[in-house]
Structure formats: C-alpha cells, structure tokens
Amino acid sequence: MRHGEAENNTQGVMSSKAYDQKHLTEKGIGQVKMAATFFVDKKIDLIFVSPFIRTKETSDTLADALNFKKENIIIDDRLHELDSGIYDGKPFDEFMRAFPNEKRFKMRLENGENYGDIRKRVGNFIYDMEKKYSGKNILIITHDAPAFILESIALGLEDNQTIDHRENKLHYFDNAAPEKLDFSPLPHNDKYEIDLHRPFIDDVKLELPTGEKLMRVEEVFDCWFESGSMPFGEAHYPFQKRDFLRPQAFGRVSWGKAVDILRISSPKA
C-alpha cells in the first residue's frame, strides 16, 4: 500500500529524502483509517515500512486502528521513495519533464536513481521476505514507484514491458489504496529481471500434487543437433517420409544435396 495523502502531494513537490518531514494531511489520515477496514480480517503478521515520516505515520495510524502491535512494524530502507537527486524539493511537473516514463530505466537522475536501481533494492526485499517469512501475511507500506516496481517484478515484466504497463494502463498507486501482491519466486538475474537461462533456472523447484519434488536434470539437450534435425522433422521423417533417406530416393547424391532435396520436397509446416 502507498502512504496516505501527504503534504508533498498537496504541494506538488518532490520529496525523496527521508529527512524531509512531509507529514500526512488530515485527508491522508482519513484515507488510512478507511483502509484499515480492509485489513480487519486479513490477519496481518508483520508490517514493513519505508523510513519516511509519511509512511511511518501511515503504519502507526493503521496500527492504532487495528490494535496492531507496533513492535511488529519494521522499517526497511529498501522501500524508500525514488531518489530524485537534484530534483528533490522541486515541482513535480518539472521532475516529470526531466524524467519521462519512457526513459526511467535508461537514464539516471543526477545524484539520484532510476527504475533499475529501484528494481534491485525492492527485488532484494521481496525475495528476502519470501525466504524469511514464507507463509506470513505481510503488509508493505511504501511509495508509488517502489510499489509499482514490486508489482512489475511479481508479474515478471522486462524493462520495456514495465514502461508499457505504466503508460498503457496508466497504472499508478493511489494514496492508501490497498492492493494484493500476487508474488511467486521467478528465476532472475542480479538485476531481478526474469531470466530462464542457467544458472537462474536451476533455482526453480516444482512439486507434483503427490508431493514429489522435481528439479532440472544436469544434462542439457544439444540445440545445434536439434536445429540440424529440423528439416527431417518438418518432412515427418521417418514416419510419413520413410523413403527420403534411402539411396533410391535420391540416386547417387551427396549428403548435403540430400538435405537440400529434403528441404525442397518437405511439406509446409
């Protein structure tokens, strides 16, 4: 969940440093109290929160409304707002002109971050949570950009797909609007981008309904052999075209010529 409406939202300015004391507005506090009704029956075990005052006030307001033990609220710096660098404290519109959505993975703000930086830290966070707290109901209170990138990671989106998701669906996180994060661990590289190659795919473990566990075998099929056999497979040899490789089918021709004949005579797939 994103924090409730805060002073930086009403002022229309960037507030990307934890020491910037932008508090929740009265409207924001009301939004959080309304959101608390959503969590009444969710049996939240832990709350992880960004170190900003507006996110901490959000978690405290929720805790009071839910009678939630505040010792189970954990501040995690990996959830902090996008660092807007030299644009911190400047009008939001000016920041948007300097840092348009389509460039947010390719460029980095001076003294600041880009979406790739956010992906690394929130990716590290969510996989860490999966490892340490599997089976727990966890509420994450953060900011729009980190929440959006967390969703992108859960969906397995690449950089361009993430930008399309942001722009085409106009997907932004409203203040204090709870959303469920459907997350399952995916094979990924050190940038937390989905990657189905080795060694990342080796981390994938499957389990049958019977409880039997499956994992990748060490042997890897030779894809060059697979490519070389494609013309024969396309011709349905040795099933529909068993005569293709008999001498009388080609006469006295070279192996390469035989392959060429097979390609020409094979039906379209």
Query: Are 254 and 138 within one domain?
Result: no
Instruction: Record the tokens describing residue 208, joined without a space.
Output: 């049958």
Domain limits for position 162: 7-185
pTM of the model: 0.77
3-state per-residue secondary structure call for 160-179: HHHHHHHHHCCCCCCCCCCC
Number of independent structural domains in the chain:
2
Within-domain flag for 232? yes
Shared domain for 176 and 230, answered yes or no, is: no
Res 221: pLDDT: 67
In a domain, 216, yes or no: no
Task: Give pLDDT < 50 ranges for the chain.
Answer: 246-255, 258, 261-262, 265-269
Name the CA radius of gyration of the chain, rounded. 27
Residues with Cβ within 8 Å of 95's Cβ and at least 6 positions away in sequence, in order, are 14, 84, 87
Q: How far is CA 221 from the centre of its chain?
A: 30
pLDDT at 2: 97
In-domain check, residue 43: yes
Residues 93, 175 share a domain? yes
| Residue the block writes with tokens 């203040």 | 175
Question: pLDDT, tens digit, for every residue of 91-137?
Answer: 999 999 999 988 999 999 899 999 999 999 999 999 999 999 988 99
- Residue 215 lies inside a defined structural domain of this protein: no
